[in-house]
Every structure is written in structure tokens, then in C-alpha cells.
Amino acid sequence: MMAMKELIKYIAQALVDNPDKVEVTEVEGEQTSVIELKVAKEDLGKVIGKQGRTARAMRTILSAASTKINKRAVLEILE
Amino acid sequence: MMHSTESEIIVEGNDLEDALAAASERLGVDRNILEYRVIDSNISGIFGLFKKRKITIKAWWRDGGHALQEAEQFLLGILSHMRINARVTGKETAEGLTLIIDGDRDGLIIGRRGQTLDALQYITNRYMQRDQTRKTRVILDCEGYRRRREQTIIRMAQNIARKVKRTGKSVAAQPMDSSERRLFHLALKTDRDLCTESHGEGDKRRVVVYPVKK
């Protein structure tokens, strides 16, 4: 599941102004993994986006990637 | 191969020098690499009194293909993190940069009703427009999906049009994004027995087709 974490980190770091403040942790469950994303406060808007579109796009990409390994992954953005 | 991408802004100034200085500041680039076109210049005032000059220009800078390469690299990075083997071919079109993905898992890249492809496209655009002076628009395609989808939308519009005419009642199409709604409106634009409007918010926004009463 390392790959899922790296995928989110890669995207988030590309979108924010403070890539060094991006932290991604993974809470692994039996069937579902929770990917927790934390960014600098001023970058929150960049990973959430207008009407949550950026967050939704990241979730869509994450679920496509996790289909390949037959395990569900959900993205949570921590505030 | 050299590519160039424009990111343009419209600025006003008292004269050309003034406008170019403003453009270079707003775009954050040296004015030597700026290109521009005069949109409007006028001299206002009565009989030359209170003469005030004003000029409006459109300015942009050419970045020699940097943007295209950057977009390709970014997208390849996502795909490789998704463990997808793919090739990305980029080209410049009238609408912006078009990146064509050719991979081993095209179904996965496209997703249900194109939602994965749309998500990848959205993220790539956010990345390319992360500093607000750049307006580079990126379109992603895979296996000719966009064209097929275009044809599907036009067919859908025609089917709904027939239904509206048969029943005399309005019919709502499924929710679509703005570029798809645009295609839908265009497909029925010349039909004088119908009119189309978009209703709803965000990802629930959809086109409704109404009969025109005579």
C-alpha cells in the first residue's frame, strides 16, 4: 500500500506552495486503508479546491489506483 | 521539437511603454521576452484639451515548450505512481495542450464515464495553473475517448430532442461537465422547435430541453 501513500504525496506536493509541509500517513485496515493528508494551513484550499473538486479528483485517482491492487483506499484531508 | 505556450493577460497603460511595464510586472517575466498586440488605443478629450491617452494591449510570453514538457512529466509521474505503464504524447492545439495517454490499462485510465480521465485532467490543470499568471489549459485523451464521448453526447441530445417533440414535455439530460453541456447545447442550437437551458449546481448541473410553444 506504500504506493497509494506516495501517489497522494506526489500530487499534493505538486499543488501546494509549501511542499515540505506535506505529510501523508497511512492507517491500514483489513480491507480499507485510510490515507491521511496534512498540508500547511494556507495550502488547504489548494488540495481541497473550489467546491471540493481537487479533493474529489484526488479521491477518484486514488480509487482507480487501488482497484488495481484490489484494496480500497480512502483519502482524508486533516485540518 | 520546439513548442510554445502562451499565457496572456490584458493590461492598460498611458502609453505602450507603460502598458508593457505593467504586463512584465504582472506576468513576472522580463519584458524582453514579451510579445504583445494592441487591442485598443484612444485619445479622449475635447478639441485636444484635457487630452488623455490610453492604450490597451494583450501581452504574453513564449516559453519555448517548457509548459508542454512540464505537463507531460507531471502526468507520467502520476501514472507511474498508479503503477500504470503508459506513454504520453503531447501536442499544442488551438484549445491548449493536448496530452494523449497510451497505456496498458486504458479502461482504468478512463474510468466509469470518463471520470478518472477527467480527474487526471483536472489535477494536471491545477498543477499547470498553480501560479496564477499562467492560464495553460491541458486536455487529456486516451484511446480517442474524447471524440467518442462527443459523438455520444450529440446522439444523446438528438434522442432527447425527439422525445421532447413527441411528448411535448421537457426532458432533463444526465449531469455533465461544462464542456459536455456546451456540446449538448450546440447540437440542438439550430432546432427552432426546442430550447435548451442548464439547471442545477456543481456536479449536478444538467441540460434541460424544452419544447417551444407556437
- Indicate whether this model's pTM tops 0.90: no
- Residue B1 domain flag: no
Instruction: Verify that B139 and B153 share a domain, yes or no.
Output: no
Contact B116 A60 (CB under 8 A): yes
Instruction: Verify that B90 and B153 share a domain, yes or no.
Output: no
Give the distance, in angstroms, between the CA of residue B164 and the centroid of all CA atoms in the same chain: 31
Strands B206-211 and B52-61: unpaired
Task: Between A58 and B3, name the one with better pLDDT.
Answer: A58
- Give the model confidence (pLDDT) of B118-135 as tens digits: 999 999 999 998 876 667
Instruction: Verify that B18 and B56 share a domain, yes or no.
Output: yes
Contacts of B81 in chain A (CB under 8 A): 3, 6-7, 10, 65
Contacts of A61 in chain B (CB under 8 A): 78, 82, 116, 119-120, 123
Contact A65 B83 (CB under 8 A): yes
Q: Look at residue B151 and tell me whether its pLDDT is greater than 90.
A: yes
Contact A61 B115 (CB under 8 A): no
| Structural domain that includes position B193 | 148-211
Contact B130 A15 (CB under 8 A): yes
- Residue B2 domain flag: no
Where does the pLDDT of residue B200 fall: very low under 50, low under 70, confident under 90, or very high at 90 and above?
very high
| Amino acid sitting at position A15 | L
Instruction: Verify that B109 and B164 share a domain, yes or no.
Output: no
Q: Look at residue B169 and tell me whether its pLDDT is greater than 80.
A: yes
Phi/psi zone of residue A44: left (φ > 0), alpha (ψ -120 to 50 degrees), beta?
alpha
Instruction: Verify that B25 and B47 share a domain, yes or no.
Output: yes
Give the distance, in angstroms, between the CA of residue B110 and the centroid of all CA atoms in the same chain: 19
Q: Look at residue B5 and tell me whether its pLDDT is greater than 70.
A: no
Contacts of B74 in chain A (CB under 8 A): 14
CATH number for position B201: 3.30.1370.50
Task: Report the pLDDT value the prediction gives residue B51, as an integer from 0 to 100.
Answer: 60
Contacts of B78 in chain A (CB under 8 A): 7, 10-11, 61
- Most confident of the ranges A54-63, B47-56, B169-178, B200-209: A54-63
CA angle B53, B55, B57 (to 5 degrees): 175
Task: Report the pLDDT value the prediction gives residue B63, as an integer from 0 to 100.
Answer: 59
- Residue B198 domain flag: yes
Q: What is the DSSP letter of B174?
A: P
Per-residue pLDDT in tens (0 to 9) along chain A, 79 residues: 568 999 999 999 999 999 999 999 999 888 889 999 999 999 999 999 988 999 999 999 999 999 877 788 999 999 8
Instruction: Verify that B70 and B113 share a domain, yes or no.
Output: yes
Q: Look at residue B182 and tell me whether its pLDDT is greater than 50.
A: yes
Task: Report the pLDDT value the prediction gives residue B17, as an integer from 0 to 100.
Answer: 87
Instruction: Verify that B84 and B137 share a domain, yes or no.
Output: yes
Instruction: Verify that B49 and B24 share a domain, yes or no.
Output: yes
Instruction: Verify that B16 and B69 share a domain, yes or no.
Output: no
Region of poorest pLDDT, from A54-68, B91-105, B137-151: B91-105
Task: Report the pLDDT value the prediction gives residue B136, as an integer from 0 to 100.
Answer: 77
- Residue B77 domain flag: yes
Instruction: Verify that B167 and B202 share a domain, yes or no.
Output: yes
Instruction: Verify that B136 and B70 share a domain, yes or no.
Output: yes
* B65 touching A (Cβ < 8 Å): no
Task: Report the pLDDT value the prediction gives residue B46, as an integer from 0 to 100.
Answer: 57
- Give the model confidence (pLDDT) of B16-58 as tens digits: 888 988 887 887 666 766 778 888 877 565 555 556 678 888 8
Query: How far away is chain A from the Cα of B120, in angstroms, using its nearest Cα?
Result: 7
**Partner residue facing B78 (CB), from A10, A53, A68:** A10
Identify the domain boundary among B143, B160, B178. B143
Task: Report the pLDDT value the prediction gives residue B64, as an integer from 0 to 100.
Answer: 46
Averaged pLDDT, B191-212: 93
- Residue B46 domain flag: yes
Give long-range contacts, CB 8 A cutoff, 24+ apart: B109-116: B109/A64, B109/B79, B109/B84, B109/B142, B110/B142, B110/B143, B110/B145, B111/A60, B111/A64, B114/B145, B114/B149, B115/A60, B116/A60, B116/A61, B116/A64
* B130 touching A (Cβ < 8 Å): yes
- ipTM of the complex in this document: 0.94
Mean pLDDT of chain B: 85
The percentage of chain B sitting over the pLDDT mark of 90, rounded to a whole number, equals: 45
Provide the number of structural domains found in chain B. 3
| Residues B37 and B19 sit within 8 Å (Cβ to Cβ) | no
| Residues B14 and B55 sit within 8 Å (Cβ to Cβ) | yes
- Residue B126 domain flag: yes
CATH number for position B105: 3.30.300.20
Where does the pLDDT of residue B174 fall: very low under 50, low under 70, confident under 90, or very high at 90 and above?
very high
* B77 touching A (Cβ < 8 Å): yes
Residues 6+ apart with CB under 8 A from B56: B10, B11, B12, B19, B38, B39, B40, B41
Instruction: Verify that B71 and B138 share a domain, yes or no.
Output: yes
